Structure 1
Amino acid sequence: MAEHTGMSWKNKNVITQLNNSVDNVTLALQQAQSHPTQQTIQQVQNALEHANNALDDALQNSEHQEPIDRLQEQLNQNKEQLQQLRPSED
């Protein structure tokens, strides 16, 4: 029973970490869309790198595929939106 509880906690933890990472990408992207500077775009890229690491961790360590798929789709949408950004000439 203790092992099962530990596994459930671990599964929840990696999904929570992924969710937080994707949220951070979304927030950074919104800021970059409002003020597209090299710095804000770099912040999105850094958040994406962190989220990709969290995604890899979740794919390897979670038994629950549905929330990972949903978050991966959101992450992919953020990547597409980032590709459309160009830094302003401030």
Structure 2
Amino acid sequence: METHSEMSWKEDQVIIQLHNSVENAEEAVRQARTNPVEERIKEAFEKIETAERSCTNAIQARGSSQSILELQDTLAQSKEKLNQLH
């Protein structure tokens, strides 16, 4: 059985993973907007999909906390910018 601190650490890791995934997606979208070739656009869509999965995992682990909602909003903005290219 896990202790409270072990569960808290795992939950924090989920948030860190989500934050990193959203940052990676943002960077991929910036690169796609700077150099809108098919390869960059495809990579950005893949990074967004990864971040969306991380978001789902974070919500399942932590619920809809403020930090998750903010990261989810940032991700939605990145996705919208990417969709404007495609």
For Structure 1 versus Structure 2, the TM-score category normalised by the shorter chain is over 0.9
Matches within 5 A, 1:70-89: 70-86=70-86
**Residue of structure 1 in register with 2:28 after alignment:** 28
Higher Cα Rg: structure 1 or 2? Answer: 1
CA distance in 2, matches of 1:85, 1:64: 30
**2:18 is equivalent to residue 18 of structure 1:** yes
CA distance in 1, matches of 2:63, 2:8: 9
Structure 1 runs of 4+ off > 3 angstroms?
A: none
CA distance in 2, matches of 1:63, 1:12: 12
The alpha-carbon deviation at position 64 of structure 1 amounts to: 6.5
CA distance in 2, matches of 1:8, 1:64: 16
Give the TM-score of the pair, scaled to structure 2: 0.93
CA RMSD of aligned residues (A): 1.3
The alpha-carbon deviation at position 10 of structure 1 amounts to: 1.0
CA distance in 2, matches of 1:42, 1:51: 14
The alpha-carbon deviation at position 11 of structure 1 amounts to: 1.1
Matched-pair identity in %: 38
Structure 2 unmatched runs, 5+: none
Count of equivalent residues: 85
Structure 1 unmatched runs, 5+: none
CA distance in 2, matches of 1:52, 1:63: 15
Give the TM-score of the pair, scaled to structure 1: 0.89
